[in-house]
Amino acid sequence: MASPNQLYTPALLEHVQHPDWNFALDDATCSHEGVNPSCGDDLTIHARLADDGTIAEVSWTGEGCAVSKGSADMMADLMVGLTPAEAKALCATFGELVRGELSAEDAEEELDEAACLASIAHMPARVKCAELAWRTMDEMLAGATEPSSTEDGLVPDAGDAR
Amino acid sequence: MADLCRAPRLSAAEAANLEANPYKADFPLLMAHPELAYLDNAATAQRPACVIEAEARFYETMNANPLRGLYELSVEATAAIEEARATFARFVGAATPREIVFTRNASESLNLVARTLGEQVLSEGDEVVISILEHHSNLIPWQEVCKRTGATLRWLYPNQEGFFSEEEIEATIGPATKIVSITQLSNVLGVEVPVAAIAKRAREMGAYVVVDAAQSAPHLPVDVREIDCDLLAFSAHKALGPFGVGALWGRLELLEALPPFLTGGEMIDSVTQEGAVWAPVPQKFEAGTQDAAGIYAAGIGLKYLEEVGFEAVHARDVALGRALMDGLAERPFMEVYGPRDPAAHHGVVSFNVHGVHPHDVSSILDGSGVAIRAGHHCAQPLLTWLGTSSTCRASTGFYNDARDVERFLDAIDTVWSLFHGLA
């Protein structure tokens, strides 16, 4: 049994209760929706690119669980100043972290407090919550038009199967 | 072998005392995890030692491929399956063990019914009636057969607590209705559906009646003659048996009239290059080698449940439901779904914590050693109708006790204090 308090840290809860980036950007260069239908997580990521092509600002809107929202807010903090290629690489690093392929210690330098989400690797059903904003960001930067989802290819919610 | 499944036999009054739990010692998993409050019994039950031992005993002393046996061991394996079939028949009040078809689970039983009965009797203009309470396994097979046959799917709606009115039943089930397929107990709201009244109306309209008893079998006495239905499906794993075993009961003459669902070995009398003659019921519906050990152990599980007795089961369901709901009612930040009366919940309490996503609630409870379920419970249309995308659900078994309820309520307070500062 994973302890929830490893996941629901003060850092995560602070981002959930007092998010820094939970608003729509008036002058967004691009916006992209990410949806996990079985959870009801539905987030839209907004980004404004500077003239030099780097990311000037990222924000998020929508509803979801604490893990999906807190993860989105932490991500928005980290994206400022990165080139799109660097941002996509960071999304990939985060994916490795939450799938247990990278330790929190090894990820901390790049992912800062988002590294605290490492413990979700022990809760397979919740990985998609943590990843939603990052996957959506990654696919937005790749030019996706269809909404993103971290449920694609996962075993669906089947706990009451008969 | 009768003494292999001795269960504590408590009166209703004794069973309602949640401070005592003489059942727990019979459940190895609960003994191995003394700090766990297992409240996800509607997803799957825990198994008593006698069931686990029965499965091992089959392999240790009876194992051979049943049915085609020309030697002693295979005859014993066949006898083990038939002993279980007789137990299943008694459990649902069947006229004869031949009315019991073994499947993998209730979903397969319901697919069997939709593919055979549905495709035989439905055509354009006909109606199939289900309810908004249905689990996906009693919904999607009917959606699919309606698509193939041109029939229309119609829905019965209860009131907000989950109770169906006579008017609703009469207005929805009419002359165009050919099949009514309905759950006996909601796996989300815990409410019992008046299946006998619905069956009566369906009969008057000349419709077939199918009952999904997956959720009710471990909580209510199921009697197919009393309900007066034509077919009834349930799974062993929610009723103390192993995974991978389900049953379909059907009226013998109806089972005899239906075509086979799956074909192949074991379900034929004779085969030529041109075709085959089906085996008699129930083997006609049991293609391929069955999970004989699982079926045998599933029979032992039902015997254990019978030994506990449904009066004790119900008394404990009511006491646990009351303790859970009274506890939740003391907390102003909770929403509870379904009947207001705890006695009408049959061990299922769905709820939400205001402002906290159900998946966050379940993860935090998990960390406190409390196992509940969060999500749509395989009943998405019901949750949409309730106006939510997901809920948390605590579901009890007779082997839960006051300590489990206490742990659960403490963990709920942890959720609240984590999200809303110190309690």
Region at B258 (left for phi over 0; alpha for psi -120 to 50; beta for the rest): beta
Please check whether residue B304 is in contact with residue B7, taking contact to mean a CB–CB distance below 8 angstroms. yes
pLDDT attached to residue B423: 42
Check pLDDT > 80 for residue B78: yes
d(Cα B10, Cα B300) in Å, to the nearest integer?
A: 19
pLDDT attached to residue B39: 98
pLDDT attached to residue A2: 46
Chain B touched by A162 (CB under 8 Å)? yes
Chain A touched by B181 (CB under 8 Å)? no
- Helices within B136-247 (DSSP H only): 140-149, 166-172, 195-204, 224-227
CATH of region B9-38+309-420: 3.90.1150.10
Check pLDDT > 70 for residue B355: yes
Supply the residues of B annotated as catalytic.
Answer: 378
Q: Is B9-38+309-420's fold the same as B55-306's? A: no
Nearest CA in chain B to A14: B419
Check pLDDT > 60 for residue B353: yes
Write out chain B residues lying below 8 Å of A158, CB-based.
378
Averaged pLDDT, B317-328: 98
CATH of region A4-141: 3.90.1010.10
Other beta carbons within 10 angstroms of residue B343's beta carbon come to 14
pLDDT attached to residue A153: 56
Q: Return the SS3 of B123.
A: coil
pLDDT attached to residue B298: 98
Q: Which of B40, B363, B365 sits opposite A123 (nearest CB)?
A: B363
B364-373 confidence digits (pLDDT tens): 999 999 999 9
Averaged pLDDT, B113-140: 98
Cβ contact (<8 Å) for B378 and A39? Answer: no
- Helices within B114-268 (DSSP H only): 119-121, 140-149, 166-172, 195-204, 224-227, 252-257
B130-159 confidence digits (pLDDT tens): 999 999 999 999 999 999 999 999 999 999
pLDDT attached to residue A148: 85
pLDDT attached to residue A1: 43
Check pLDDT > 50 for residue A100: yes
Alpha carbon distances (Å) from A42 to A62, A64, B40, B92, B383: 6, 6, 27, 45, 17
Grade residue A5 by pLDDT with cuts at 50, 70 and 90.
low
pLDDT attached to residue B229: 98
Check pLDDT > 60 for residue A155: no
Q: Which of A66, A125, A161 sits opposite B378 (nearest CB)?
A: A161
Check pLDDT > 70 for residue A85: yes
The C-alpha of A11 sits at a distance from chain B's nearest C-alpha, in angstroms, of 12
Check pLDDT > 70 for residue B386: yes
Check pLDDT > 60 for residue A156: no
Output phi, psi for B244, to 5 deg. 85, 10
pLDDT attached to residue A144: 79
pLDDT attached to residue A158: 46
Write out chain B residues lying below 8 Å of A123, CB-based.
363, 366
Nearest CA in chain B to A18: B419
Check pLDDT > 60 for residue B243: yes
B284-303 confidence digits (pLDDT tens): 999 999 999 999 999 999 99
pLDDT attached to residue A162: 63
Nearest CA in chain B to A129: B359
Domain ranges of chain B: 9-38+309-420, 55-306
Check pLDDT > 90 for residue B182: yes
Q: Mean pLDDT, chain B, as a whole number?
A: 96
Averaged pLDDT, B254-266: 95
Q: Look up residue B15 and give its amino acid.
A: A
- Specify the fold of B55-306: Aspartate Aminotransferase; domain 2 (3.40.640)
Domain ranges of chain A: 4-141
| Closest alpha carbon to A34 in A119, A155, A137 | A137
